[in-house]
Amino acid sequence: MHYVYEFLSFVDLVVAVALIYIITIQESKNDGLTGQIGSKTTSSFKGKAGKEEKLNEITIKISSLFFVLLIIISMLSKFK
């Protein structure tokens, strides 16, 4: 049981580093005051998911995995 706990802790560390990396490579969604005034135009269309949409999906999946791993590790820590 101890080896499973250690392995899951290591996997959780790797997932945490991956989550930090994915979040930092995403572009900022707010443009400050210029975004509020409306000087920048954006178009919204339905089609293939772009880079940002794929990064958002990956972020959601990795953060969910991180959360589930933390729950499992916390339950296993009682038996450690």
Condensed to tens digits (0 to 9), the pLDDT of residues 4-35 reads 999 999 999 999 999 999 999 988 766 555 55
Pair 50, 25: CB distance under 8 Å: no
pLDDT single digits (tens) 45-76 = 566 668 888 999 999 999 999 999 999 999 98
| Residue pair 21/57 in contact by the 8 Å Cβ criterion | no
Q: What does the alpha-carbon distance between residue 76 and residue 68 come to, in Å, rounded to a whole number?
A: 12
Is the separation of the CB atoms in 25 and 55 below 8 Å?
A: yes
pTM of the full structure? 0.72
